[in-house]
Amino acid sequence: MGQCPFCKGQVSAELLRDGGACPHCLNDIPGEDAATDPGVALRAKEAAAKAAAQRKRKITSIALAAAVLLSIAGGIGYTEYQRSLQYAVLELSFENEFFVISPDELAQAEAEVKAQEEAERLALAANTGGKKAQSGGKSSGGGEYRPREDDALAQLEDDRLSTNDGGTTASAPVAQTTMAPLKVGSGPTVITGPSTAIKRDLPTLTNQAEIDKMVKTAMKRNMGQIKYCYESALRSTPNLSGRWTFDFTIGTDGTTQNISVKGETMRDTAFEACLAGRVRNWAFQPINKPQPVTFSLPFDSGG
């Protein structure tokens, strides 16, 4: 005879040797080869369950990490794909230096704007005059069509387009594009069509640093036209002031596209139309892929 390891009741030697249920407490008595501590089996079961839970958490963590890595890799891949299509947005800052323009520079800007407007008028007359006007004949509107390279704007641009240190100037200009439509509404004043600027046969830039330098040089060169628009707007709106944001994209041919002008604190559609029209006529050096540009300017009459 022996004792049950649980209730200490009397049990047979065979039960202790072979194992089985105690007739008194009904607990399962392990055999002689099993552990006599009744908590061993329970602890072993708990340890096995804990190990299984840890393995599951580890697998879940690995899966989540893999998903995050794939997401990051996908994001990087998409970003690189976008970069392959165009350059990152170039944010320019001019602030007060914009207003440092001499009377002579302002007069030159006025001449440029008037030449641009005349070129646009001739282009519109040519486009409505049919193929005969495009080939150099007279349009149905009564005005004689002149190729863009012969007009006053081209003559002004000849001395202004050089943008690199070597003093590179343009060869014969390429024919102009069709005048783009202007959209003015509650949102920004935008021009969605192609630029009407003269296209020049200049070397194509492929280096980001060179492109940034070229854009900044061209922008400073064209600031007089923006100042002219503001001076003209003040004649009808003396209190016109605030900050206007410009967004556009320089195409691979150096012309401007997707032009948007919007006042941040004040709106004036006529003023914005003048600004957008000037941006439309800006010419940059050709680049290997589009370059988005954004900047804002403060306008203050000082009155």
Mean pLDDT confidence for 275-281: 91
CA of residue 136 relative to chain centroid, distance? 41
pLDDT of residue 99: 53
Percent of the residues in the chain that have a pLDDT greater than 90, as a whole number: 18
Is pLDDT above 80 for 62? yes
Residues counted in the chain? 303
- pLDDT over threshold 50, residue 169: no
Between the CA of residue 271 and those of 114, 187, 261, 297, what are the distances in Å? 16, 14, 10, 13
Query: 65-85: buried (b, 16+ CB within 10 Å) or exposed (e) per residue?
Result: eeeeeeeeeeeeeeeeeeeee
Q: Is the model's pLDDT at 292 over the cut of 90? A: yes
Residue whose pair of structure tokens reads 């150096």 in the numeric block: 254
- pLDDT value, residue 81: 58
User: Tell me, what's the pLDDT at 98?
Assistant: 53
Number of neighbours of residue 55 by Cβ within 10 angstroms: 10
pLDDT at residue 246 in the model? 93
CA proximity to 193, closest of 179, 203, 207: 179
Whether the per-residue pLDDT at 36 is higher than 70: the answer is no
For the chain, the straight-line distance linking the first and the last C-alpha, in angstroms and rounded, comes to 116
Residue 239, CB half-sphere, CA atoms under 13 Å: how many?
2
pLDDT at residue 224, rounded to an integer: 86
Tokens of 29: 């008595």
Torsions phi, psi of 292, nearest 5? -70, 145
Nearest Cα neighbor of 291 from 261, 260, 248 is 248
Convert the pLDDT of each residue in 170-223 to its tens digit.
Answer: 333 333 333 444 444 445 555 544 445 555 567 899 999 999 999 988 888 888
Identify which of 272, 274, 277 has the alpha carbon closest to the alpha carbon of residue 261. 272
Q: What is the mean pLDDT of residues 15-42?
A: 72
Comparing CA positions, the residue from 298, 210, 205, 188 lying closest to residue 251 is 205
pLDDT at 162: 38
Task: Choose between 131 and 288: higher pLDDT.
Answer: 288
pLDDT 10s digits, 88-125: 888 887 665 555 556 666 676 667 777 767 776 776 67
Mean of per-residue pLDDT scores for the chain: 71
| Of 113 and 252, more confident | 252
pLDDT score for 41:
60
